[in-house]
Structure formats: C-alpha cells, structure tokens
Amino acid sequence: MLVLSRHRDESIIIGDDIVITIVDIRGDKVRLGIQAPTHITVHRQEVYEAIQREGSHRAVAAAAVPAVNR
C-alpha cells in the first residue's frame, strides 16, 4: 500500500485520468473529491462489498433454479 500525505485542496493523480482531491478535513474524517471517467465505478468499500454480496446471492439463487425454468 502506498501511503501519501496531503493537505486540504491538494490532489493525488492515478494514471492519466483519475484525480483524488482532499476537499475537507474535520477531526478524524476526510472528505475526498474524485474525478474519474464515467466507465470507472467508484464506491465506498462497504457499498462495494454489499454489491458483491448481492451479486453472490443472485448467482447462488440462479444456480438453484432448475435449468427447465431458465
């Protein structure tokens, strides 16, 4: 893991087209602004994990349905 220090209004650039900017710092919370192309999905980790769990549940449910009903 790369660890970088940034101040408010400073940015980090990933590749050629993703920019992460420190928008605000309040106590132990940091607000980030993320500029990325529309084909790149950006989620908070807990949202991403929920999406992955939902996809897994759907895959298991689909596998449980007999092939005749598909």
Amino acid 32: pLDDT: 97
Tokens of 19: 């920019």
pLDDT range class, residue 68, cuts 50, 70, 90 = low
Burial class (CB in 10 A: 0-12, 13-18, 19+), 21: middle
Spacing of C-alpha 9 from chain mean position? 21
Whether 70 has a pLDDT exceeding 60, the answer reads no
Q: Over the stretch 7-51, which tens digit does the pLDDT of each residue have?
A: 999 999 999 999 999 999 999 999 999 999 999 999 999 999 999
Q: Over the stretch 41-67, which tens digit does the pLDDT of each residue have?
A: 999 999 999 999 888 777 666 666 665
Place of tokens 């759907």: 58
Instruction: Write phi, then psi, for 32 (nearest 5 degrees).
Output: -115, 140
The answer, as to whether pTM is greater than 0.85, is: no
